[in-house]
Every structure is written in C-alpha cells, then in structure tokens.
Amino acid sequence: MKTQILSTIGENVLQPAACLNEALAANDRIKYVFSLLQMALSHAEHPEMPATALKRERIVCGIDDPDLDTVVAGARMVGKFCYVAGAARIIARIAEDMSLMAAPVLATKPEEVAERLDTLLHALPVPNDDLLSPDVISAMMQAGHGGPDSLHRLVMDLHKQLNAMQAELAEEILDGAAVYGLAETDRTLVSAFMAGLNRTAKLKFNHPGLATTATRLDSRLVIQNDIGTTDAHVIVIHVQELAVSVTYTDVHPERLAFFQSMLKPQGVTWEKESTAVLPTGTPFYLATGRVDAVNEDACRTYLEFLGSRLVFLIDWNHARKQLRGFLRGPDRLALLSWAAENDIGHRGFLELGSARLVNQAIEATAGSSMHFGDRLCDVLDDEEALKFMRFVFQAATEGLLSGQSHALIHDRIRVALATHFSNEGRQLLGIATDHAGLIFELASSVCDRLQAGADHAAKRARRFEHDADGLVRETREIVRRRPEYAIFLSLLETADDAADELEDAAFLLDLSTLQGKPQEALRTLAELLAEASQEWIKALGHARQIGLAANPVETEDFLTAIDRIAALEHQADDAERALTVATLEHAKDFRQLHLLTTVGGKLETAADALKHASLILREHVLEDVIDG
C-alpha cells in the first residue's frame, strides 16, 4: 500500500490523504469485480449471448491480471452452481479491497462499520473447484435497502463517507491536486507542478495513476504523487525557499536510472541510493535528488518539468520487456528515452497490444524474412529497427489521441514495416552501387597505368579490390538473414568477378613497361571497361529509383544503360581481337606476348562479367519490381 511506503520513508504527514486515495481506488476495483461476477453469471445462464471481456474496465481500475479477461467467456453452469475460473482468487480480492476501502472510516468511526464489515466478510463463500452459488452472487450484489445487508450496500455507504472525508481533508482541488494547509506562496509552486503533469497526463491513456496531494509541513511545501499502482512507487517533493528535493522510490533499479537520466538536464544532485523493505517484505530502492534554483521562476520551471516527466514512468518496465523481441538492450533504453523527450511516451504502444501489435505486423509482412527466434533488429539492421519502433510509438500515441480506430493504426504500422522490408532491397542495390564505384576505380587505375604510366597502380587496385570483397561479404550476411534477396548476392558476386580481373590486370601491368601499338590497343580495351563500369553505376542508380516508383523516364534510362553495357561488351570483344593482332605483330618477345594477351583476356572477362551482372539486374527489375 502507498501508506506503507510513505511510512517507511518517513512521510507521515501524507498518510491520511494516501489512505483515502487507496480506499477510493479499492472502491473502483470492487465495483469492477462485482460487474465481472454479474456478467459471468449472466453468460453462464445464457451462453448463447456474446461474452464481454471487461478488459478496459480492468485496466482503468488498475488491476494487472489479464487472466480475468477470459472469466466471463469461460463461465458456465455446472448443475445448480456457476463455474467461475479463479473464483477463490476473486473472492480473496474482494475481501482485501473491502478492508482497504473501510480502513479510513474504521480509523475515525469504527462503531459504524466494524461489525457490518466483519459479518459480511465472514459470509463470503469459499469456492470449491471454482464453483459459486448464483444465489450467493446475487446476495453480494443486492443494492436495495429492503432486504438483508450486502457487500454492495456497504460499498455504497463507505463510498459516501470516503467522499465526505476527502472533501473535509482537501480544502480544495488546485489544478487537479488535492491540497490542504497551503501557504499563499505555495499555490504558484503547486500550479507549476500540475501544469507539467497535466500537459502530459493524457499519455497514460486508460491507466490509473498520477494522483497528487500537496500540503505544508512547518517551513516546507510537500507534494506527493502516487505515479502508478505499484505499492512502492511514489515520489515526494519538498520545496523550502528555492531548494527542491525529490525522494523517489521504485522496485526496479532500471526505472530509477531512467528517471534520473530524464532529470539530468536540470542539474539534479543525487545522494547515494539506498535500499529498504516494506512491512510486506517487498524490497525497494530509494534515491533523493536536490536542485537549488537561482530564483523563483527557475524553481517553478523545474517543478513544471518534473511534473511533466512522471507519466513516462508508468508501466515503463513492462514496456522495456515488451521490446525484447525487436531491439537490443541499449536501443530499448534509447527508444524509451526518445519517446519521453518527444512527449510521445510508451503507453500508447502498450494500449494497442504492445509486442503483439508489432508481431501481427511482422506476420502479415515479413513472410520468409523472419524465422522463429529472430529479432527484428537481426533481420533489419539496428538503426532501421529502431527507426521503425519510433514510428510505432508515435503512430500509436498520435492515433489514439486523435481518436483513430485501432484497425487504422494497425494498418499504418503494417504498411510502415512493409516499407522497411522493401527498403532492404534498395539497401542491397546501394551496396551494389558502391561496389560498382570500386569497379570504376579499378578500371580507371588500369587506364591511368596505360596512359600516363602511373606508379603504384597495383597497390591502389589491391585496396579497391579488398573493399569490393568487403561489400560482397556484407551482402552475403544480409542474404543469409533474408534468403528471398539471393538474387542480389548472385548479382554482386558476378560483378565482383570484374573487380577480381581488373585487380589482376593492374598487378600484371606493374610488372612491365609497354609502348607502341600493343599499348594503344590495350588502352582502348581498358577505356571500354571504364565506360562500361560507368554505365553499370547508372543502371544501378536507375534501378533504385524504379524501386520507389516505376516511372517511364527512370525505366527508359535503366534499359538504355543495360543496353549500352551489352554494346560495350561486344566492342570489348572486338578490341581484344585487335589487341591480339597488334601483339602478334609488335611484341618484342614471348614474355611481352604472354603479358599482353593475358591482360587483354582479363579485361575482356571483366567486360563479360559486367554484362552478365547487368542481365541479372534487368531480370530482377522487369520481373520482380515492375511486374511484381
């Protein structure tokens, strides 16, 4: 209970308000459970009628037990009894919440409640095999005053007294905060805190929490917020003159670190963290941070910022766990931080189904791209997976806030994921384009060696060829994860044959100095290779654009580049024959004859490899991209 955590950390002045808040929250939970039992009995007696899950009502009242969502649908009559799954736990929940609801009244007026509560709790059924008597359920829910006393009647009577006690305790509601005993100077500080809290509170959607109480204790203003529903999760703020101290408790050290990171831009100084244990035995972490504001405006600004951050703590650890199947650890934290910094939050993602929301999009989109056990970041790269999950968070939050249907938001996420998967095809074309640039550099190195006798051509060519091999390895790894993109590996491995042949040619040319007719013929062949590699770059560039939109201009330019590569390959065949003739006529010796014909053969093979790669690309674009 929140009262226990406040007592444990020494904030006794806030306990009466916290006790009332707990009692009113227990009232909401009891009403939900009563509705659940009534709906279960009705469905059991009339199974032909559709069942209602009451999931939204469960979430709103703060019960974290998804098993309850199937209770109504699973209810059935067994003889004279009604089967209610988990009936024993449900009855125990009623008893616990009735005690919580009655606690503030028992503390002040025990004679009015104690005997009624004790009698009714002892009358609660003890279910065997999850079977409840319909008469007992009806008796619990009896609301009129003509018959015997009932739990429902006690709940209504207690609720009236709790409302009266809250009105007496809280002198007023200031911008949503229950306040009492404030000094006049406190009001602007409480309003500043509530301005920040109210600005982002909508991002919790249907989740309970963020109830705020404020009072004065001696020379200090004390503000307390219950954040969510977890017992040991509260924040207490003390303001004394211009010093603001924050006492924060949490059962999750990761969320504590996240909270501290959100306040880091404000220059908060933190004392060493400590651990403590609730009377129930629950351990928790406690941290105290302090800011000394330079003036009153700065103090109010900090309080407003502090209030605006609390919504991002609700269900934070749950959201972090739900992201495990999509992002690596650091990126999960980065996503949650980004969502808080941009006032998007994670509750919209959870509201729409959390991990199931993304998994449904994957099932509808990924096809054979993902296998059992794959994470999204293993199939897309880390950056793309993080980018997509940012879109999911933003689409969920903005869609829910604007009243869009869940189906529409799901469809938008599915389309966005399909775009990310198709982007990988363009990414592979981008790798192929980089590879084509290296082929051009290799061809240019050969031309430079033949035209100007450039030094170190072989060394440069070796570096280019090494980089080209790296791109092939990168493609091979992507295709290992995405086997449907195997055509890109075939394309790149074929083009890489050109890179290998050109690197060999550059190496051989560094072994000798050539001149005369054979050199001119060889230079002509090398220049054809340089031009073919330029056309190859053009073809890949146009193919990437066709992947975005198959407009006629891009398609025509693509086909022209492919045709030009084929024409240059034919010219390379002719140039190689001309080289053979010139070599036979002008070679000085057998060594030069062998060198010239070997280099010529490698250049012609490189031209042939580019032609074959271009045909693979042509088939992919015409059959898979345009027709597909």
Query: Tens digit of pLDDT for each residue in 24-36?
Result: 788 888 888 988 9
Q: Is 274 exposed, middle or buried (0-12, 13-18, 19+ CB in 10 A)?
A: exposed
- Cα separation of 308 and 342, whole Å? 12
Q: State yes or no: pLDDT of 548 exceeds 60.
A: no
Average pLDDT over residues 85-103: 92
pLDDT tens profile 17-63: 777 777 878 888 888 898 899 889 989 999 998 888 888 788 777 78
pLDDT tens profile 527-546: 999 999 999 999 998 887 77
Between the alpha carbon of residue 26 and those of residues 99, 267, 422, the distances in Å are 9, 38, 50
| Cα 147 to chain centroid, rounded | 55
Residue 514 pLDDT grade (very low, low, confident, very high; cuts 50, 70, 90): low
pLDDT tens profile 187-231: 999 999 999 999 999 999 988 888 888 888 778 888 888 887 776
Cβ neighbours, 10 Å, residue 397: 25
Between the alpha carbon of residue 157 and those of residues 17, 94, 113, 144, 165, the distances in Å are 19, 16, 9, 12, 13
Residue 568 pLDDT grade (very low, low, confident, very high; cuts 50, 70, 90): very high
pLDDT the model gives residue 601: 92
Within 264-369, where are the H helices? Answer: 296-309, 316-322, 329-341, 347-351, 355-365
All residues at 6 or more sequence positions from 627 whose CB lies less than 8 Å from its CB, including other chains: none
Structure tokens at 11: 């904030």
Average pLDDT over residues 472-479: 89
Q: State yes or no: pLDDT of 158 exceeds 80.
A: yes
**Structure-model confidence comparison of residues 433 and 625, the more confident one:** 433
- Cα separation of 492 and 495, whole Å? 5
Residue 2 pLDDT grade (very low, low, confident, very high; cuts 50, 70, 90): low
Residue 163 pLDDT grade (very low, low, confident, very high; cuts 50, 70, 90): confident
21 in the Ramachandran plot: left (φ > 0), alpha (ψ -120 to 50) or beta? alpha
Q: State yes or no: pLDDT of 509 exceeds 90.
A: no
Q: Is the pTM of this model over 0.75?
A: no
Percent of the chain whose pLDDT exceeds 70: 90
Q: State yes or no: pLDDT of 277 exceeds 80.
A: no
501 in helix, strand or coil?
helix
Between the alpha carbon of residue 45 and those of residues 78, 82, 93, 519, the distances in Å are 10, 8, 24, 98
pLDDT tens profile 344-370: 999 999 999 999 999 988 888 766 556
- Cα separation of 475 and 375, whole Å? 19
Residue 515 parent element (H or E): none
CB 176 within 8 A of CB 194: yes
pLDDT the model gives residue 371: 62
All residues at 6 or more sequence positions from 72 whose CB lies less than 8 Å from its CB, including other chains: 36, 39, 40, 43, 51, 52, 53, 54
Q: State yes or no: pLDDT of 464 exceeds 80.
A: yes
Residues forming beta bridges with residue 83, ordered by sequence position: 76, 131
Q: Which residue has the tokens 């490899």?
A: 609
Q: Would you say how long the chain is, in residues? A: 628
All residues at 6 or more sequence positions from 456 whose CB lies less than 8 Å from its CB, including other chains: none
pLDDT the model gives residue 170: 64
Within 372-454, where are the H helices? Answer: 376-379, 382-401, 406-452
Give the DSSP letter of residue 280: T
Give the DSSP letter of residue 324: T
- Cα separation of 95 and 4, whole Å? 19
pLDDT the model gives residue 469: 93
Give the DSSP letter of residue 250: E
Residues forming beta bridges with residue 332, ordered by sequence position: none
Strands (E), 144-227: 172-174, 177-180, 212-217, 220-225
The string of DSSP letters for 104-156 reads HHHHH-HHHHHHHHHHHHHTS---BTTEE-HHHHHHHH---SSSS--HHHHHH
All residues at 6 or more sequence positions from 246 whose CB lies less than 8 Å from its CB, including other chains: 235, 236, 237, 263, 268, 288, 289, 290, 306
Residue 605 pLDDT grade (very low, low, confident, very high; cuts 50, 70, 90): very high
Q: State yes or no: pLDDT of 266 exceeds 70.
A: yes
**By mean pLDDT, which of 252-256, 412-416, 534-538 is the weakest?**
412-416
Mean residue pLDDT across the chain: 86
Q: State yes or no: pLDDT of 144 exceeds 70.
A: no
